[in-house]
Amino acid sequence: MVRCCWRPPNPAVPRHDLRKVRVHVQRPRNGGGGRGLGDQPPRLEGPGPGGLSRRACFRLHFPQLALRRRLGQLSCMSRPALKLRSWPLTVLYYLLPFGALRPLSRVGWRPVSRVALYKSVPTRLLSRAWGRLNQVELPHWLRRPVYSLYIWTFGVNMKEAAVEDLHHYRNLSEFFRRKLKPQARPVCGLHSVISPSDGKILSFGQVKNSEVEQVKGVTYSLESFLGPRASPGDPPFPPATSHSSFRNQLVTREGNELYHCVIYLAPGDYHCFHSPTDWTVSHRRHFPGSLMSVNPGMARWIKELFCHNERVVLTGDWKHGFFSLTAVGATNVGSIRIYFDRDLHTNSPRYSKGSYNDFSFVTHANKEGIPMRKGEHLGEFNLGSTIVLIFEAPKDFNFKLKAGQKIRFGEALGSL
């Protein structure tokens, strides 16, 4: 590696203009008498101070100059082309060991952040492909090895399944959505709110300043998550002017507070979810979005992850006021099914990210909505995902939980 470095005898004299420098390099001769490139230093000619030609030892940074030219061209590209050109370098930057590409940062190149790189992955397309694969019927002889590997990997308890015979499940989708024995999940009748599913408690407590905890220390906006408040049969309320005003739109009774609970469903958990209390579902809002992983590690890494992902928000009322249950999609969990909503189609290419679709269950024939009993079947995922409960309750409502604990459907979440 050679670099051009000319040192003038007088420090006050300016350096040569490198654009006017001519470099002469003598080729080594084949004979033994000639002097090669390593024997004779190259000669630098150019207009020096006073018009005199000068000689100096120098080295040329050929790779660095070439990289500067190439990377300088990126700034002239359009944004899609820039992403296309910088994406492979970014992947190599994070994958190659020992920082093999870190010298590129010295010449002006900056890698895309890990979060931006992960968001650029086509998770919706991959989830659709995974859904098609789940629908493929497995040969009878292959079912036991495939399901046994899944059971061993994720710790599935098949003794609780309504059908324990692995050959009964024709494809992976049927295995993921397996039903449980009736006595496997007794519903607690002493507490007003129960767990709607199996899973792990990520966070719970009061909603403060209209911010909901994703995991400990990471929050997201309540308004971004639920969208503008809507009443059955009426258009959405105007956007809230402050966080407190949006919270006041949800709290309908004086003296009540707003509470939340986040439950993460791992791939080995029971994938159906149930009604957590006696309530009436009056409205459904579907947010098309990304399908990034929602495991606790990702939830700590990506802020407002639940607001980016596809989700289905069910809102209504219970005996203490506002109540909502949100099913959040994840990677390979583009399919969210609500049993009483046949018009719902998630992870569909006809829906674009950044929008939402409303549907009201209040009609002229049914002016109240869909009544749900505590423990009643509500919906299902096709793999692990997340359930978020946001509800209104009196100030003396207490959770019977610990952060990080495992919980099963039917166990108590809290009561008055």
Q: Is 415 a catalytic residue?
A: no
Q: Is 269 a catalytic residue?
A: no
Catalytic residue among 197, 198, 269, 308: 198
Q: Is 385 a catalytic residue?
A: yes
> Residue 59 gets which letter from DSSP?
B
Burial class (CB in 10 A: 0-12, 13-18, 19+), 350: exposed
| Contact yes or no for 178/372 (Cβ under 8 A) | no
Crossing angle for the helix pair 79-95 and 62-74, to the nearest 10 degrees: 140
Catalytic residue among 271, 274, 283, 308: 274
Is 233 strand, coil or helix? coil
Q: Which string of b and e fits 89-120 if b means at least 16 CB within 10 Å?
A: ebeebeeeeeeebeebeebebebbeeeebbee
Dihedral in degrees, nearest 10, Cα atoms 364, 365, 367, 368: -150
Which among 332, 336, 327, 325 has a CA at the least distance from the CA of 291? 332
Residues 264, 268, 269, 273, CA torsion sign:
positive
| CA atoms of 116 and 248, how far apart (whole Å) | 34
| CA atoms of 209 and 197, how far apart (whole Å) | 28
Q: Which residues are catalytic?
A: 198, 274, 385
